[in-house]
Chains A and B, each alone.
Chain A
Amino acid sequence: MAEGRDNTVLRFENVSVAFDDVLALDKVSFVLERGESRVVLGTAGSGKTTLLKTAVGLIRPDSGRVELLGHDISKMEESELYDLRSRVGILFQEVGLFDSLTVEENVAYPLRNQHTRQAVNSDLREQVVEALRFVELEHTLDKFPSELSGGMRRRVGIARAVVTAPDVVLYDSPTAGLDPITAYTIMGLLIKERDIRNAATVMVTHRYQDGQLLANFRYNPQAGEIEPASRNGSRADLRTKFMVLQEGRLVFEGVQEELEASTDPYVSKFVRR
Chain B
Amino acid sequence: MLDFLKPPIQTFQDFFLLAGRALRTLPRRPHYGDDISLQMDMIGVGSVPIVLLVGFFSGAVMALQMSRALAQYGATGQVGQIVAITLVRELGPVLTSLLVAGRVGSGIASELGSMKVTEQIDAMRALGTDPVQKLVKPRLTATAFTLPLLTIIADFVGMVGGYLMAVPVLSLTTGAQYWNNAYRSLEYNDITQGLLKPFLFAIIIALVGCYYGLRTTGGTQGVGRATTQAVVVASIWIFVTNLMVTRIFVNL
B29 contacts across to A, CB distance below 8 A = 115
- Tell me the minimal C-beta distance from B3 to chain A in angstroms: 17
Q: Tell me, yes or no, whether B220 is within 8 Å of chain A by CB.
A: no
Quick check: A58 and B127 within 8 Å, CB to CB?
A: no
Q: Which of A90, A94, A115, A116 contacts B126 (CB 8 A)?
A: A90
Quick check: B127 and A85 within 8 Å, CB to CB?
A: yes
Quick check: A82 and B123 within 8 Å, CB to CB?
A: no
B13 contacts across to A, CB distance below 8 A = none
The number of residues on chain B lying at the interface, defined by a beta carbon within 8 Å of a beta carbon of chain A, is: 17
Quick one: which of A112-139 are within 8 Å of B by CB? 113-116
Bitwise interface map of B from 152 to 190 toward A, beta carbon under 8 Å scored 1, else 0: 000000000000000000000000000000000000000
Bitwise interface map of A from 187 to 200 toward B, beta carbon under 8 Å scored 1, else 0: 00000000000000
B27 contacts across to A, CB distance below 8 A = none
Quick check: A96 and B118 within 8 Å, CB to CB?
A: yes
Q: Tell me, yes or no, whether B16 is within 8 Å of chain A by CB.
A: no
Quick check: A96 and B32 within 8 Å, CB to CB?
A: no
The number of residues on chain A lying at the interface, defined by a beta carbon within 8 Å of a beta carbon of chain B, is: 27
Q: Which of A87, A88, A96, A97 contacts B122 (CB 8 A)?
A: A96
Q: How far is the CA of A113 from the CA of B35 in the complex (A)?
A: 11
A94 contacts across to B, CB distance below 8 A = 118-119
Q: Which of A97, A99, A114 contacts B129 (CB 8 A)?
A: A114
Quick check: B128 and A96 within 8 Å, CB to CB?
A: no
Quick check: B123 and A116 within 8 Å, CB to CB?
A: no
A53 contacts across to B, CB distance below 8 A = 122
A88 contacts across to B, CB distance below 8 A = 126
By Cβ-Cβ distance, the 10 closest A-B pairs, closest first, are: A96-B123, A86-B128, A96-B119, A85-B128, A114-B128, A90-B126, A113-B129, A110-B127, A82-B128, A94-B119
Q: What are 26 A-B residue pairs whose CB atoms fall within 8 Å in the complex?
A: A56-B126, A78-B125, A79-B130, A82-B125, A82-B130, A83-B128, A84-B128, A88-B126, A90-B126, A90-B127, A92-B126, A94-B118, A96-B119, A96-B122, A96-B123, A97-B120, A98-B115, A98-B123, A98-B124, A110-B129, A113-B127, A113-B128, A113-B134, A114-B129, A115-B129, A160-B127
